[in-house]
Amino acid sequence: FPGAGGGNDIQWCFSQVKGAVDDDVAEADIISTVEFNHSGELLATGDKGGRVVIFQQEQENKTQSHSRGEYNVYSTFQSHEPEFDYLKSLEIEEKINKIRWLPQKNAAQFLLSTNDKTIKLWKISERDKRPEGYNLKEEDGRYRDPTTVTTLRVPVFRPMDLMVEASPRRIFANAHTYHINSISINSDYETYLSADDLRINLWHLEITDRSFNIVDIKPANMEELTEVITAAEFHPNSCNTFVYSSSKGTIRLCDMRASALCDRHSKLFEEPEDPSNRSFFSEIISSISDVKFSHSGRYMMTRDYLSVKIWDLNMENRPVETYQVHEYLRSKLCSLYENDCIFDKFECCWNGSDSIVMTGSYNNFFRMFDRNTKRDITLEASRENNKPRTVLKPRKVCASGKRKKDEISVDSLDFNKKILHTAWHPKENIIAVATTNNLYIFQDKMN
């Protein structure tokens, strides 16, 4: 197993699991996004019920050197509510599609959360002191009879139990006709983009009544629609550069300095396809469900139904690395089309040093690919493996032929147990993996 061999391989251990144990999952509890903040101290989740839960890592305890701090609930709030657009007869889900953190500038934390139509900027602040000793008010807030006041005192701040408050500071609404799939904060920390199926808008974080349309792929005649935008992200360092991916498996890199409307790409990334391999499923499985720049900004990673691809921004004609996530599903495409699983949108993420990439699969499996050693591992997020500091056992799927002991056959996989959302701590080997309604935190084994 990868863990047993080379000294540098990570040994993953279960750390925590959040959420209900029961199998009967309410729709509202389905986790729809997971995101660490820039320091990794905070971990946010969004769900189908429009709620955000933020966890905070405990300060490291010097006596507990065998594990890093645990994540405990820090704040939770209702970010979005369900709405009905009567004019368009359109039901607007409250599901949180994405959360993106702003880098911390002062004592408060800020994040952007979005559903299909509206983006909100939330401020999360701590209150640990309160003023006491008012002259005209009692401690419980009732007003004192002024005639009973005989002396004056100066109110002072006294410590109180920590209270974490979330308040919506900006609401960015009415800019998207179609469903928002991505938000991305620019490296200038002043602007951000939001992308729906056909358009991308640029916003200033301070301005809610105006946004600039920077990409529009809506055809004049909707009958001619062949492609939609599936994800978009700003470059981590170049504030003028962003990319967007499509349902046809292409990625376009745009430079906002070139023109106001970036309909013409600066670069088009596409892997040529052998026409003799084409099938009914080809386009569907080539649809890119996620695109993420490496921290360095030199590479970007895309996720399509069966694979993860790493692209060098300097090479448009093919990816530099391709990793098969679950190639054994290729011979199951018919049933995966019938049960709609073929349309599942898996996300992917980089570790802090860009040496390992991770993505989810079915049966609550998730996969990691080490770009340096070229080794990969399959792990499972399950309550059966939840003994802290016990190294997780790698899983293996048997595609065909004789199934070895401990292997799982493709037909036994549970396609209702999907891991669509994973996140990697920006600095440490700590990962957050979301199953349908539970959040797992794994850490590497510290010596």
Binding site for other proteins (CB under 8 A): 1-2, 5, 18-20, 28-29, 31, 45, 47, 49-51, 53, 73, 76, 78, 81-82, 84, 88-94, 116, 178-179, 197-198, 225-228, 247-248, 274, 276-277, 279-284, 287, 320-324, 327, 330-334, 337-338, 343, 369, 371, 374-376, 437, 439
Closest approach, Cβ 5 to other proteins, in A, equals: 8
Question: How far is 411 from 420, CA to CA, in rounded Å?
Answer: 20
Nearer Cβ to other proteins, position 94 or 444? 94
Three-state SS at 282: helix
Whole-angstrom distance, CA of residue 100 vs CA of residue 82: 21
Per-residue buried b or exposed e for 309-343, using 16+ beta carbons within 10 Å of the residue's own CB:
bbbebeebeebeeebebbebbeebbeebeeeebbe
- Residue 197: count other Cβ atoms within 10 Å of its Cβ: 18
Smallest gap from residue 403 Cβ to other proteins (A): 16
What DSSP state is assigned to residue 259? -
Q: Give the 3-state DSSP-derived string for 379-407, with helices as H, strands as E and coil as C.
A: EECCHHHCCCCCECCCCEEECCCCCCCCE
* Minimum distance of other proteins from residue 239's CB (angstroms): 31
Q: Characterize the bridge pairing of strands 407-409 and 396-398.
A: parallel
Least distance from other proteins to the Cβ atom of residue 144, Å: 37
- Choose between 51 and 235: whose C-beta lies nearer to other proteins: 51
Identify the residue whose tokens are 């953190």: 101
CB 199, min distance to other proteins, A: 12
306, 285 contact by CB (below 8 A): yes
Q: State which residue, 22 or 209, has the beta carbon closest to other proteins.
A: 22
Helices (H), ranges, 35-162: none
Complex with other proteins: residue 62 or 88, whichever CB lies closer: 88
Quick count: other Cβ atoms within 10 Å of Cβ 446?
13
If the CB atoms of residues 268 and 320 are measured against other proteins, the closer one turns out to be: 320
Name which of 406 and 414 has its Cβ closer to other proteins: 406
Nearest distance, CB of residue 211 and other proteins, angstroms:
20
Q: What b/e string do you get for 138-165 counting C-beta neighbours within 10 Å, with b at 16 or more?
A: eeeeeeeeeeeeeeeeeeeeeeeeeebe
Nearer to other proteins, 333 or 349 (CB): 333
Per the CB < 8 A criterion, the answer to whether 300 and 358 are in contact is no
CB of 334 to other proteins, least distance (A): 4
Smallest gap from residue 218 Cβ to other proteins (A): 10
